[in-house]
Structure 1
């Protein structure tokens, strides 16, 4: 249980820091180099989407760490790509449920979903301000 909390908290903190850096520092640097409004908006959308995909990859690694520490598993045998797919659907809060974590990995999935909801809201705010 403690290991799951440490993995979840660490992944949460790293993900939030990376995403906020991407949609503020990276996006602002890109915006300074672009002149047209519609290109600026596309750039911010691209940066936000790329950042979300990166975060899904970070959470995928966290699931694999949890698997290696025997903190849980997935109800069906899951490859790296299956877990990445699960992570993408979880961080976007879509949650299709085709792959389901068990044990303490469920905690990580809950943290990922809450993180994704918050960070998608931050991304939407940045896109709105850019428009």
Structure 2
């Protein structure tokens, strides 16, 4: 369980740092190069979505590490693309439930969902301010 907590905390910290950097520093830099509000809004939306995809990849790798460390697995046989799909639906808080983690990996899924909710809210705020 300790490893699950450490992995969850590390991925949470990394995800928040990367996403906030992307939607603030990178988005502000790109917006500074554009003149029209519509182009700025499209750029911010693209950056935010790309950042969410990157975070889903990071969480996918964290699940793989957890599986390697025997912290849990998935109820269904899951290849990396299946785990990425699970991560993507979890970080967007959609949570379709067609694949689910077992053992201590459930903790990571909960952290991912909470992280996704918070960061999607940050992205929405950035898009709204840009518009």
TM-score (norm 2): 1.00
Runs (5+) with no aligned partner, structure 1: none
Shift of 1:128: 0.2
Aligned match of 1:49 = 49
Aligned match of 2:26 = 26
Shift of 1:65: 0.2
Aligned residues: 131
Give the distance between the partners of 1:10 and 1:18, measured in 2 at CA: 12
Note the alpha carbon deviations across 1:101-126, whole angstroms, 9 max, x for none. Answer: 00000000000000000000000000
Aligned match of 1:64 = 64
| Structural RMSD (CA) | 0.2
Give the distance between the partners of 1:37 and 1:129, measured in 2 at CA: 11
TM-score (norm 1): 1.00
Give the distance between the partners of 1:24 and 1:100, measured in 2 at CA: 33
Shift of 1:9: 0.2
List 4+ stretches of structure 1 deviating above 6 A: none
Task: Report 1:1-131 matches (<5 A).
Answer: 1-131=1-131
Note the alpha carbon deviations across 1:45-71, whole angstroms, 9 max, x for none. Answer: 000000000000000000000000000
Give the distance between the partners of 1:114 and 1:125, measured in 2 at CA: 17
Runs (5+) with no aligned partner, structure 2: none
